[in-house]
Structure 1
Amino acid sequence: MAQFVDWDLAAATAGALAKTGPAVSYEEATQVVSDLRALTDEAAGHVAAYTGLSSQVEVPPVRVVDRKDWAKVNIAGLQRVIGPLVARLSEGKEPGPLADAIGSRVTGVQAGTVLAYLSGRVLGQYEVFSGEPGQLLLNAPNIVEVERKIDADPRDFRLWVCLHEVTHRTQFTSVPWMRGYFLGEVQAFVDASQGGEHMLERMRRGVATLSDALSNPESRVSMLDVVQTPGQKAVLDRLTALMTLLEGHAEFVMDGVGPEVIPSVESIRAKFNRRRESGNPLEKAMRRVLGIEVKMRQYAEGRKFVHGVHERVGMDGFNKIFESPLTLPRLEELGDPDAWVTRVHH
């Protein structure tokens, strides 16, 4: 079968290009890992008590990673998802060994370049592609680097990050259908394309777009240019609504729990928000192309929606949102909590 990405080359590229982490001694590094594991457990108790949600499956222990390991885990997850999709899109057609080798190696370098960039930005992630039920990753070098840059109390900042990421783990492990629904929507996006070969080429071009933005901050192209059909737009609307809800819910929980357990939370939030909004031209270009700017808006819009629903129907009423895919908010409801409450509660 044709190989869309040379995954080994992607991993090697990501490892070679990943930024060097902050300077820490072996003892400091060991302490950071120990702290993050303990604070993940502490955060889990706070999140469960605040949200009323509890995991319905056995939860794997948190995995504290460095930047190269983060890239490797994500490459493995992408390989697991993209491989079957490429097989379906190509319908068994072979492009020829030379075209396959050249194309997959080019895409491998491009994908590795993008993952190297992201590996230096992501603080934590609930990774769902690699296997059931998913795994919580905490990127230790980035957490230490940011807490130093904003001069935050280390324990407070680490617990603050853990609250956000553990909320994502809770969303996927306390709602039995969530992971399958998300992966199904990714599949639906591909199924809605206008032909396999054309979609494969657009996917390649999308990866190239991300890579090019690293060397050309003036690029105005975004990943939304991969969207080509009304069917894909409908799927993207559902995915956008889902991700806005999940990010907003995590922000809402952070802000709800934080003041009770993190003494310096107000200072951390203010400094972190300023850092989110700043950035050099290259970083701003990558945020736009990767859709991170959209994600930053999702934090604010989603939190406002969750707050609005909670204000109207309380936490138990809000949690009806997780009853089934039919009770998830529609894109147009995110700006109108009353519309969701009317549809689901009446």
Structure 2
Amino acid sequence: MDILRSVHAVATASGDGTGTGAIDWIAVADAAKNVTDPGDLTLSEADRQGYATDVRDARRRLRDVGDVEFDLPDSIEVQSRHHWIDANIRTFERVMRPIEERGRVTLPGVTRVVNTGTMAFMLSFLGKNVLGQYDPLLLAEGDEEHGLYFIHPNIVDAAESLDVDFPRFRRWIAFHEVSHAAEFGAAPWLSDHLETRMQDGLDALADGQFDREAFSDLDTAMTAVEGYAELLMDRAFDEEYEDLREKLDARRKGGGPVARLARRLLGLGMKRRQYERGAQFFETVADERGVAAASAVWERPENLPTEEELENPWKWIARVNPDSRL
């Protein structure tokens, strides 16, 4: 790592790398990667076979338990931290484009430096902590395939720091990420639905407004996405894993003041609440009607729970599948 190069990349951000927008994305990549050790990506044959077996087993178990049909993404990668940063810079750039193109900027030079530094900090922090990712490539142009990523150095480091068996921990992460692949695979409309609401919200922000309804709809949909994945993984994983969750949650809540500030700025606490709230909703539905009945949420956009139904799953059951039985 070269912190001085990273600081220099941010301080000299000009926007010339990707137009004259409010963020210099080439500088973001340079800065983020220069303060992030890429990590060791040396894989033994056992590691390679382990990842492949975990993903394959997760797909089989999740299809059986959830009664959902889905295919895995064509792109399944075991990545270093730098690989992950590069992949997600493309995502952030797509998401921020409406604001960059239409947003009104005061003191553009100063704003560009601040924005570039903020994005570099975010991606560096996440690059050191993300374990796996299902990437639906929201707002991507053309027919790009979804991606499934495992950040091998972070999984190895997390297993070591948590004092848990690496193959078992790796398998648990695989089941969680493949659970997200199951959702998007079972609901071809889901990506478009999320993109539309995200685009509405970003367009409003670019015009200096806040579309509360768009972001509320997005939050509700993501609560369903996170909650269903928790349910499916919980019912499909082939051994008890409460110790893994407890240790990982404790690790995420720990760290120094900078780490706690970063989690707050990145909204990771909100994501945790989405997990918990969504999981509680789907646990109630599955306990009363079965996992297959819960999977009805992906049949069409209208089956997504409303804000009120998230708090009262019985209202969703009465509306969507009142005649289903265990």
**TM-score if structure 1 supplies the norm length?**
0.79
Partner of 1:235: 214
SS at match of 1:59: coil
| 1:177–1:324 Cα contact (<8 Å) kept | yes
Partner of 1:53: 68
Partner of 1:176: 188
Q: Measure, in 2, the Cα distance between the counterparts of 1:275 and 1:335.
A: 29
Higher helix share: 1
SS at match of 2:84: helix
Q: 1:338 aligns with which of 293, 305, 314?
A: 314
Cα distance, 1:103 vs. partner?
3.9
Rate the CA distance shift 1:58–1:136 in 2: closer, same or farther, 3 A: closer
| 2:41–2:152 Cα contact (<8 Å) kept | no
In the alignment, does 2:135 pair up with 1:135?
no
Q: Measure, in 2, the Cα distance between the counterparts of 1:242 and 1:102.
A: 36
Cα distance, 1:169 vs. partner?
1.1
Cα distance, 1:84 vs. partner?
4.7
Q: Measure, in 1, the Cα distance between the counterparts of 2:149 and 2:22.
A: 26
Unaligned stretches of 5+ residues in structure 2:
1-18
In the alignment, does 2:85 pair up with 1:71?
yes
Cα distance, 1:312 vs. partner?
2.0
| 2:98–2:202 Cα contact (<8 Å) kept | no
For 1:333, the aligned partner's letter is E
Partner of 1:265: 241
1:71-118: CA deviation from partner (whole Å, max 9, x where unpaired): 11000122234335533x25xx9x79xx65654344223211210011
Q: Measure, in 2, the Cα distance between the counterparts of 1:106 and 1:278.
A: 27
Rate the CA distance shift 1:61–1:190 in 2: closer, same or farther, 3 A: closer
4+ residue segments displaced more than 6 Å: none
Q: 2:233 aligns with which of 246, 251, 254?
A: 254
In the alignment, does 2:185 pair up with 1:167?
no
1:268-302: CA deviation from partner (whole Å, max 9, x where unpaired): 23322332333332222221221101111222211
Q: 1:292 aligns with which of 258, 268, 272?
A: 268
Partner of 2:224: 245
Partner of 1:279: 255
Partner of 1:208: none
| 2:74–2:147 Cα contact (<8 Å) kept | yes
Q: Measure, in 2, the Cα distance between the counterparts of 1:61 and 1:288.
A: 31
Rate the CA distance shift 1:273–1:340 in 2: closer, same or farther, 3 A: same
Q: Measure, in 1, the Cα distance between the counterparts of 2:168 and 2:306.
A: 35
For 2:180, the aligned partner's letter is H
Partner of 1:225: none
In the alignment, does 2:17 pair up with 1:5?
no
| 1:32–1:140 Cα contact (<8 Å) kept | no
| 2:75–2:145 Cα contact (<8 Å) kept | no
| 1:85–1:187 Cα contact (<8 Å) kept | no
| 1:33–1:140 Cα contact (<8 Å) kept | no
SS at match of 2:311: coil
In the alignment, does 2:292 pair up with 1:316?
yes
Q: Measure, in 1, the Cα distance between the counterparts of 2:249 and 2:96.
A: 34
The share of aligned pairs that are identical, in percent, is 28
Query: Equivalent residues in 2 for 1:89-238 (5 A)?
Result: 89-90=102-103, 103-129=111-137, 131=140, 132-193=144-205, 196=207, 199=208, 229=210, 232-238=211-217
Q: Measure, in 1, the Cα distance between the counterparts of 2:51 and 2:136.
A: 20
| 2:136–2:147 Cα contact (<8 Å) kept | yes
Rate the CA distance shift 1:296–1:81 in 2: closer, same or farther, 3 A: closer
| 1:65–1:138 Cα contact (<8 Å) kept | yes
Q: Measure, in 2, the Cα distance between the counterparts of 1:280 and 1:336.
A: 38
Rate the CA distance shift 1:37–1:240 in 2: closer, same or farther, 3 A: same
For 1:341, the aligned partner's letter is I
Q: Measure, in 2, the Cα distance between the counterparts of 1:173 and 1:82.
A: 26
| 1:9–1:105 Cα contact (<8 Å) kept | no
Partner of 1:304: 280
Which stretch shifts more, 335-344 or 173-182? 335-344
| 2:278–2:310 Cα contact (<8 Å) kept | yes
| 2:65–2:232 Cα contact (<8 Å) kept | yes
Q: Measure, in 2, the Cα distance between the counterparts of 1:61 and 1:109.
A: 30
In the alignment, does 2:77 pair up with 1:40?
no
Which stretch shifts more, 123-132 or 153-162? 123-132
Aligned residues: 300
SS at match of 1:279: coil
In the alignment, does 2:83 pair up with 1:83?
no
For 1:36, the aligned partner's letter is Y
Cα distance, 1:319 vs. partner?
1.7
| 1:2–1:100 Cα contact (<8 Å) kept | no
